[in-house]
């Protein structure tokens, strides 16, 4: 029997893990990436690979999925968080809270590591090629966020300050979200995550920098801005027949509380590839391995929205008095209350922005095929109603 012709659109973590899995079993996937290299828009930014949403350590999980650790993956077991009153709360855990990874094409970066694994396995990657139509037998769509449920603003810079990890829960710095500073070996990433759709976009980084400087007095060299959106509006099904498979953030797989979608991207890429290779139902796999955790994160977002400044102080005191890992693990367990809250969150969610999803009635592009599937959903109403802006 002839091998299927498999295209993967997008060389982010989701597309690359799909590619390495498919290539390892002898298929010859072709990955199309519009940029000139992997991770270009994140270049050098530090990100968190969260480790609290499952009992199993995320590094063991990735090893089990066949993803080798050929990139820096620095465990972080302690952090200092500040509430609105700027009192430091030392949060410590009995195992790594998250792993710090670097994004981009440099040696040691996650994207570079995944690219090398995919190429070594025999995948082909074509850079500088933006794809909107495909006639491949199977296509994995891994193009990243296409609606914006929250936005993130970052400053990536160099500093002589020692390694550090700190966070803020304060609506002046990160409305409805969190702000953070990560420093590793002289490279720093300052972030402000805004989950409040009424707050102005990308307007909180200066205050966050002031707050960090007040606490640490650090110097900032060679600063570079990174902006982007996160997309946690899941719209199943994630397959069209056995031809199109939507993965990673393009599928709306993302943690709705923190905006940490890396883990979802890595896992969903593998699941789509596995579905193609083993003839399994990708939607079923997503329902089993991705959806329950994401639903809990949506419920957590509903709770978080109610906290406000007093609630942030209370939550940080509670976390500081306990093993923060145990607190976070509890928050990520499925319960009846969480299911109810998730349902409320799902019905009330409206993305702030949408990738151009309607190029015309007969348009066959990937965006339109996805949007057309469920024209009655709120997401699609929003695509019509909201400002339509390309996602950076």
Ligand X SMILES: Cc1cc2nc3c(=O)[nH]c(=O)nc-3n(C[C@H](O)[C@H](O)[C@H](O)COP(=O)(O)OP(=O)(O)OC[C@H]3O[C@@H](n4cnc5c(N)ncnc54)[C@H](O)[C@@H]3O)c2cc1C
Cβ proximity to ligand X, 47 vs 117, nearer residue: 47
Rounded Cα distance between 290 and 276, Å, is 18
Cβ proximity to ligand X, 9 vs 379, nearer residue: 9
Cβ proximity to ligand X, 270 vs 316, nearer residue: 270
Least separation in angstroms between residue 128's CB and ligand X is 9
Q: Is 176 in the site for ligand X (CB under 6 A)?
A: no
* Contact call for residues 89 and 82 (beta carbons, < 8 A): yes
Binder of ligand X out of 6, 62, 152, 270 (CB under 6 A): 152
Choose the binding region for ligand X from 87-95, 115-123, 204-212, 246-254 (rule: CB under 6 A): 246-254
Rounded Cα distance between 327 and 27, Å, is 43
Taking alpha carbons only, the member of 202, 200, 259, 253 closest to residue 227 is 202
Choose the binding region for ligand X from 61-69, 126-134, 292-300, 316-324 (rule: CB under 6 A): 126-134
Cβ proximity to ligand X, 121 vs 131, nearer residue: 131
Least separation in angstroms between residue 241's CB and ligand X is 20
DSSP-assigned states of every residue in 204-250:
-HHHHHHHHHHHH----EEEEEEEEEE-----S--EETTTEEE-GGG
Compute the radius of gyration of the chain from its Cα atoms.
20
Q: Any idea how long the chain is?
A: 392
| Strand 30-33 with 124-127, pairing | parallel
Q: Is 166 in the site for ligand X (CB under 6 A)?
A: no
Residues facing residue 33 across a β-bridge: 127
Q: Is 233 in the site for ligand X (CB under 6 A)?
A: no
Binder of ligand X out of 117, 134, 139, 143 (CB under 6 A): 143
Least separation in angstroms between residue 12's CB and ligand X is 2
* Contact call for residues 352 and 149 (beta carbons, < 8 A): yes
Binder of ligand X out of 6, 8, 11, 205 (CB under 6 A): 11
| Strand 179-184 with 138-141, pairing | unpaired
Taking alpha carbons only, the member of 157, 207, 206 closest to residue 45 is 157
Q: Please give the residues from 49 up to 88 whose contact with ligand X meets the rule CB under 6 A.
A: 49
* Contact call for residues 91 and 80 (beta carbons, < 8 A): yes
Cβ proximity to ligand X, 83 vs 261, nearer residue: 261
Least separation in angstroms between residue 101's CB and ligand X is 8
Binder of ligand X out of 43, 83, 144, 177 (CB under 6 A): 144
Q: Please give the residues from 338 up to 377 whose contact with ligand X meets the rule CB under 6 A.
A: none
Rounded Cα distance between 102 and 115, Å, is 14
Q: Is 249 in the site for ligand X (CB under 6 A)?
A: yes
* Contact call for residues 257 and 304 (beta carbons, < 8 A): yes
Q: Please give the residues from 29 up to 48 whose contact with ligand X meets the rule CB under 6 A.
A: 32-35, 47-48
Rounded Cα distance between 310 and 259, Å, is 22
Q: Is 248 in the site for ligand X (CB under 6 A)?
A: yes
Q: Is 261 in the site for ligand X (CB under 6 A)?
A: yes
Site residues for ligand X per CB under 6 A: 9-15, 32-35, 47-49, 130-132, 142-144, 152, 154, 226, 228, 230, 248-250, 254, 259-263, 265
């Amino acid at each position: 029997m002839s091998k299927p012709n498999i295209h993967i659109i997008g060389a982010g973590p989701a597309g690359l893990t799909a590619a390495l899995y498919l290539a390892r079993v002898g298929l010859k996937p072709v990955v199309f990436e519009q940029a000139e290299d992997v991770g270009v828009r994140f270049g050098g930014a530090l990100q968190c690979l969260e480790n609290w949403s499952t009992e199993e350590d995320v590094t063991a999980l990735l090893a089990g999925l066949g993803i080798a650790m050929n990139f820096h993956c620095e465990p972080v077991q302690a952090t200092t968080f500040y509430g609105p009153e700027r009192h430091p709360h030392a949060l410590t855990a009995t195992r790594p809270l998250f792993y710090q990874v670097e994004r981009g094409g440099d040696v040691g970066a996650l994207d570079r590591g995944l690219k090398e694994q995919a190429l070594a396995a025999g995948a082909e990657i074509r850079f500088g090629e933006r794809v909107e139509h495909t006639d491949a037998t199977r296509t994995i769509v891994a193009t990243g966020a296409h609606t914006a449920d929250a936005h993130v603003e970052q400053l990536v810079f160099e500093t002589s300050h020692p390694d550090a990890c700190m966070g803020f829960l304060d609506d002046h710095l990160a409305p409805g979200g969190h702000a953070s500073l990560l420093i590793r070996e002289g490279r720093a990433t300052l972030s402000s995550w805004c989950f409040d759709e009424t707050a102005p976009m990308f307007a909180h980084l200066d205050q966050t920098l002031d707050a960090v400087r007040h606490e640490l007095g650090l110097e900032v060299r060679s600063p570079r801005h990174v902006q982007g959106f996160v997309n946690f509006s899941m719209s199943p099904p994630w397959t069209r027949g056995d031809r199109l498979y939507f993965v990673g953030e393009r599928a709306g797989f993302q943690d709705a509380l923190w905006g940490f979608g890396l883990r979802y991207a890595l896992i969903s890429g593998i699941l789509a590839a596995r579905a193609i290779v083993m003839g399994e139902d990708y939607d079923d796999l997503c329902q089993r391995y991705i959806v329950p955790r994401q639903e809990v994160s949506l419920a957590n977002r509903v709770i978080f929205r109610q906290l406000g400044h007093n609630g942030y102080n209370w939550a940080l005191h509670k976390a500081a008095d306990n093993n923060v890992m145990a607190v976070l693990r509890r928050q990520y367990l499925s319960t009846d209350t969480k299911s109810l809250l998730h349902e409320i969150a799902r019905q009330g969610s409206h993305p702030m922005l949408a990738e151009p999803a309607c190029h015309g009635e007969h348009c066959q592009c990937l965006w339109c095929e996805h949007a057309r599937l469920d024209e009655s959903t709120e997401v699609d109403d929003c695509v019509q109603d909201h400002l339509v802006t390309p996602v950076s």
